Chain A
Amino acid sequence: MGLGTTRNNFEGKNVVRLEYEAYVSMAEAEIKKICSDIRNKWPMIQHISVHHRLGVVDITEASVIIAISSPHRNESLDAVKYCITTLKATVPIWKKEVYETEEYTWKENKECQWSRNEQK
């Protein structure tokens, strides 16, 4: 199982909250594709659950939860890792980090092929 929580500091500025928005219909479709991929790669997987918070998320709370069950834990752990990595690369969700000054930054995943921080 993977639980994604918030780092509370960026370049010395305190993050007071996160705000998430999504292209909801496409995000759901992309998450379904990830689930299909997981079932093809790891046929022993039993249940898959992916939840992502939208709107305001307090810095003490989890933004995303992925739960995958299988008879052997290695498949589940590999599938969770695949799920989060692919989610970060493909699912149209955007995170805004808001600082105590009320300034904010739109974050960009390094996994995203079109981000400024892309690692090739």
Chain B
Amino acid sequence: MFAQVSLLYFARSAELSGVRSETISIPQQLTSLQLWQEIVKRHPRLGTIRDHIILAVRQEYVILGDQLLFLHPGDEIAVIPPISGG
């Protein structure tokens, strides 16, 4: 089963992908690492920052790894480079 989800890119990741947001169709169940791989497949230049990003799925941080995600249509996923507020 596939779901249409929104991808958001910020800061350096927006520069590397060339977009701020897009909608993609991906499997509803996948690991966070597989999700990252779906993103890099579409924007290979993002591979250069792999070790210094985290994802946010439905506004909760998710590290790249084996955690199994259950995505719903319309879910928001963001690529989060190292933060620098404050």
Contacts and interface: CB of A to CB of B under 8 A. Distances in A.
Nearest to A66: B86
Contact of B85 (A25, A94, A96, A114): A94
Contacts of B81: 94, 106, 108
Nearest to A64: B86
Contact of A92 (B12, B52, B63, B78): B78
B80 interface: yes
B86 A88 contact: yes
A8 B81 CA distance: 23
B9 to A, nearest CB: 10
Interface centre among B11, B12, B61, B86 (most CB of A within 10 A): B86
Contacts of B8: 23
B26 interface: no
Interface in A67-111: 84, 87-96, 106-109
Contact of A93 (B12, B59, B83): B83
A107 B84 contact: yes
A91 B83 contact: yes
A26 B85 CA distance: 13
Interface residues of A, number: 33
A29 interface: yes
A107 B53 CA distance: 14
Contact of B83 (A25, A63, A92, A116): A92
A114 B52 contact: yes
A114 B59 contact: no
A26 B53 CA distance: 16
Interface of B: 8, 10-12, 52-54, 56, 59, 61, 63, 78, 80-86
12 contacts: A21-B11, A26-B59, A92-B10, A93-B85, A94-B81, A106-B82, A106-B84, A112-B83, A112-B84, A114-B82, A116-B82, A117-B82
